[in-house]
């Protein structure tokens, strides 16, 4: 039996497990598949593992519902940051977290002893095909690729993303097109997919299909991907509100991109496995 904390950030939910002191002898892949099951486990989009780091204040590892390990998660890292501060594992409001996508700097907004918002410096997006990665051999590549007549803008936020602009989000068959793009041959590591509708110059609505999970209420790195692609190719502002099914995230893009939003503890418990 071990303890866990269930958290959510704009509807993207996670199970946090503290392995700073005691490391359980479980396969993280199998643990994620069991705990994330919404019928037989706790239920979540992924699990977050808190570990010690030699290069930052903490190390975060994230595993999706299907057991695959993700490089980075913008919503997950906000949950992570709130947890370590409110559990008094750190007493600084600015600190660093090691991820597979590099070291991320977080800054907390605190009222009393409660973290109300978390801002993450998500780093510099990568547009080079080999860095996303994307295998696309057409000579006329100009920032977008085509999948069954859909314009797709690939970008890496430390993990791969594919942004597609649409006119009708509500009637979109996201399971059909999300799965198609996620598994498409151009993406050797698969990809997260964002379907975006521009409302005005600083407001975009987005639905997210996450690699290894399916449709989720929110995705932090996905919000960043939409923001940078919209700024680069659609003449949008540097500051954009990204409206997702689970809530709105604020982004600021100027070479690197910052992501700001809330996170909440849902409940705590113990489970026998």
112 Rama class: left (phi>0) / alpha (psi -120 to 50) / beta: left
Catalytic residue among 36, 79, 219, 224: 219
C-alpha separations of 15 from 60, 200, 212 in Å: 12, 35, 16
36 included as an active-site residue: no
Give phi and psi for 66, each to the nearest 5. -85, 0
In sequence order, the β-bridge partners of residue 48 are 16, 62
Q: Which residue among 36, 73, 79, 164 is the active-site one?
A: 73
46 within 8 A of 32, measured Cβ to Cβ: yes
d(CA 190, CA 184): 7
CA-CA distance, 175 to 180, in Å (whole number)? 8
Is residue 4 within 8 A of residue 17, CB to CB? The reply is: yes
Active site residue 164: no
The residues, ordered by sequence, that sit 6+ positions from 3 with a Cβ below 8 Å of its Cβ are: 18, 268, 269, 270
Residue in the block written with tokens 């370590």: 84
Q: Looking at the annotation, which residues are catalytic?
A: 73, 219
């Amino acid at each position: 039996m071990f303890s866990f904390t269930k958290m959510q950030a704009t509807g993207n939910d996670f199970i946090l497990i503290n392995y700073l002191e005691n490391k359980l002898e479980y396969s993280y892949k199998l643990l994620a598949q069991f705990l994330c099951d919404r019928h037989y486990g706790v239920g979540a989009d992924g699990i977050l593992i808190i570990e010690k780091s030699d290069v930052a204040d903490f190390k975060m590892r994230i595993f999706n519902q299907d057991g695959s390990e993700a490089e980075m998660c913008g919503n997950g890292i906000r949950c992570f940051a709130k947890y370590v501060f409110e559990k008094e594992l750190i007493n600084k409001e600015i600190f660093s977290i090691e991820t597979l996508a590099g070291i991320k700097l977080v800054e907390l907004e605190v009222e009393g002893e409660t973290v109300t918002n978390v801002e993450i410096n998500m780093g510099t997006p990568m547009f080079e095909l080999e860095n996303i990665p994307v295998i696309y051999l057409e000579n006329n590549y100009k920032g977008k690729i085509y999948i069954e007549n859909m314009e797709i803008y690939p970008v890496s936020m430390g993990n791969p993303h594919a942004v597609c602009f649409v006119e009708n989000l509500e009637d979109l068959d996201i399971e059909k097109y999300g799965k198609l793009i996620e598994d498409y041959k151009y993406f050797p590591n698969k990809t997260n997919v964002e379907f975006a509708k521009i409302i005005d110059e600083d407001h975009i609505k987005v639905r997210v299909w996450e690699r290894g999970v399916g449709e989720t209420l929110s995705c932090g790195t996905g919000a960043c991907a939409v923001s940078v692609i919209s700024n680069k190719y659609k003449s949008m502002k540097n500051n954009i509100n990204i409206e997702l099914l689970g809530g709105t995230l604020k982004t600021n893009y100027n070479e690197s991109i910052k992501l700001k939003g809330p996170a909440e503890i849902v409940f705590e418990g113990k489970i026998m496995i």
